[in-house]
Amino acid sequence: MGIPSSLGKHWLACRHFSNAGFPCPIMQSPSDHFLRAINTDFDRIIAMCKNLQDDQGDFSSVSMDTAVAIRTLEATYKSSAEAAAVELMIAKLIEKEGPYLKSKGRASDAARIGILTWRSLLIMSRDWKYFWSRLVLYMLLALSIGTIFIDIGHSLSSVVVRISAIFVFVSFLVLLSVCGVPAHIDEIKIYSHEDSNRHSGTLVFLLGHFLSSIPFLFLVSISSSLVFYFLIGLRNEFSFLMYFIITIFTCLLANEALMMIVAYIWLETYKCTLTLICLYVVMMLVAGYFRIRDAIPVAVWNYPLSYISFHTYAVQGLVENEYVDTSFAVGATRTIPGVQAVRGSYGISSSAGAKWMNLLVLLLMAIGYRVVLYVLLRLDVRRHVRLGRRSCWPSIHTSAAPK
């Protein structure tokens, strides 16, 4: 703890140094003079350079012993009126009692989740690369698909075209989400810094990010779904419309968790984008549109790939939402159920509750991917991988060295 040697404005300091016997030269900066008087480093510099002389003869413009100057300045300050005024002010502040401040310790998990959620909401609302760019792209996608498949009608011949429109909408909606990869990488990096400083826990981070992403995902889901739904002319009932929106929203929730996992593994935009595109293409291939799932080769493609693709459950649920409990006229007197009309193009269930099972699977996938991300973050897999790579270098160099 330092000992005061002067307090107040610069002209008071000049007067104080002058009273102590160390007046500031007229043509010298007061701050330089004060620093020279109390800094012992100048004594060592002058001692090393004592044989050097400038044009005026003496290297040091002021001849003084720093230790003596410090003691003199301290004694002069203690006996000055300024020191007495400071002591009186401190005594008055001590007598003026204020409320006793109690430390509440560390913030609760609920408070930390609320703060992180609010911070993420602000960041997402201000930065275009989080969701605003995706909102624009999704709206353009919905308009493009809707205008391409507009006025397809509700006849038996429109079944294949309608399924194609639903598949294209879901697939490209997920595919365009790769534009949000940089934002997810930034979130992971922020978490890494905060976790290293013990400001944020893994569960707190995941819950905060999940809660903050819900409003934006629902916004992009409902806006793009409404445009697509009414341009295509799907079933004109509110319950079917709400199921369509909720399915798209849940599919995007699962996709967000998958993107976070890939972003954590690579932490590089190019690698993350390439990995996600490859995953999406595989999911599209095994979703049952290009070939019915029952006809897909069982090994690898059907089990397990078609069962871990959220495209499968999203498209299947939306097709069931559109055609279960419907019928089509064939000729003048005969009708066939909508499920039978669809089965030649896409495999769906005739049960009215099958679409809800698909929605439940999507919800479980959204939760499951986040559980996987929680385990990866909790175990700090990236740090262990980096340490493992570094430990391999000495052995590689040793084996490569000439004997």
DSSP character at residue 336: E
- Distance of alpha carbon 292 from alpha carbon 163, whole angstroms: 13
Mean residue pLDDT across the chain: 84
Instruction: Count Cβ neighbours within 10 Å for each residue of 290-325 and write b for 16 or more, e otherwise.
Output: eeebeebeeeeebeebbeebbbbbbbbbbbbbbbbe
Phi, psi of 380 (to 5 degrees): 55, 60
Phi, psi of 102 (to 5 degrees): -105, 135
Residue of 403 and 117 predicted with greater confidence: 117
Cβ neighbours of residue 185 closer than 8 Å, sequence gap 6 or more: 263, 267, 268, 269, 272
CB 174 within 8 A of CB 255: yes
pTM reported for the whole predicted model: 0.72
Q: Is the pLDDT of residue 399 over 60?
A: no
- Distance of alpha carbon 346 from alpha carbon 318, whole angstroms: 12
Tens digit of pLDDT for each residue in 306-343? Answer: 999 999 999 999 999 999 989 888 877 788 999 999 98
Tens digit of pLDDT for each residue in 236-290? Answer: 999 999 999 999 999 999 999 999 999 999 999 999 999 999 999 999 999 999 9
Residue 220 is predicted with a pLDDT of 94
Write down the H helix ranges in 22-131. Answer: 30-38, 41-48, 66-78, 81-95, 109-126
Tens digit of pLDDT for each residue in 130-165? Answer: 788 889 999 999 999 999 999 888 888 899 999 999
> Looking at 230-239, 296-305, 329-338, which range is the least confident one?
329-338
DSSP character at residue 337: E
* Structural domain boundaries in the chain: 10-95, 109-379
Residue that is written with structure tokens 């669809």 in the block: 342
- Distance of alpha carbon 143 from alpha carbon 227, whole angstroms: 7
